[in-house]
Chains A and B, each alone.
Chain A
Amino acid sequence: SQQGEEDPQALSIQEGENATMNCSYKTSINNLQWYRQNSGRGLVHLILIRSNEREKHSGRLRVTLDTSKKSSSLLITASRAADTASYFCATDAGAQKLVFGQGTRLTINP
């Protein structure tokens, strides 16, 4: 069964707007990662946030983690057409493997 659940399942916004995706999980984690998947491609790692961190930035990406609510959010600022992709959260619960959510399909309209 999936550990992470992304919300929304699909998101469509205009270029230049910000996009926010959320991830909820069920068990305690060591860290949480976000990945991007372009159509027909493999997943690409975006950012990792550890359980003792609350916020992390990488370029136009901002990730937050609330371990009390077992949730994380990914914010993409000033979106571009090239950001169109599916975004997955993945949790590391200490079992030496990642468990991926179902993903959010993001569409950036020009």
Chain B
Amino acid sequence: DAGVIQSPRHEVTEMGQEVTLRCKPISGHNSLFWYRQTMMRGLELLIYFNNNVPIDDSGMPEDRFSAKMPNASFSTLKIQPSEPRDSAVYFCASSFRTGGIEQYFGPGTRLTVT
């Protein structure tokens, strides 16, 4: 199994540009999570899906952030427009179901907004 796949691994963009991060969960997993990690705030849960349906997006910082999961094998996190304070490492994780079991993390996307 290839594990959780994220792309791109690194993204450098200018303030105001649209950024799209992509995630392919482990085959057979039906729960998907998007996290953001910074030195100041640690690891924050942004949104999670169960069976492709968004369950809790209370962690999404503001309307500039949106996430979709059009099918069981693909999800995107979009930031439009991006701002320097969005600079962080964004992780995608998947699991067999929500709650109570281990999550499998991707390698992350390091986003730098200048």
- Which of A's residues lie within 8 Å of B, judged by CB? 2, 30-31, 33, 41-45, 48, 88, 92, 94-103
Contact = CB atoms under 8 A, between A and B. Distances in A.
Interface of B: 4, 33, 42-43, 45, 48, 50, 55-56, 91, 93, 98-108
B50 A96 contact: yes
A43 B42 contact: no
Contact of A45 (B45, B91, B102): B102
A48 B93 CA distance: 17
Contacts of A100: 42-43
B106 A42 contact: yes
A43 B45 contact: no
A103 B98 contact: no
Contact of B45 (A31, A33, A98): A98
Contacts of A96: 48, 50, 55-56, 98-99
Contacts of B42: 2, 100-103
A42 B101 CA distance: 17
B50 A43 contact: no
A78 to B, nearest CB: 24
A41 B105 CA distance: 9
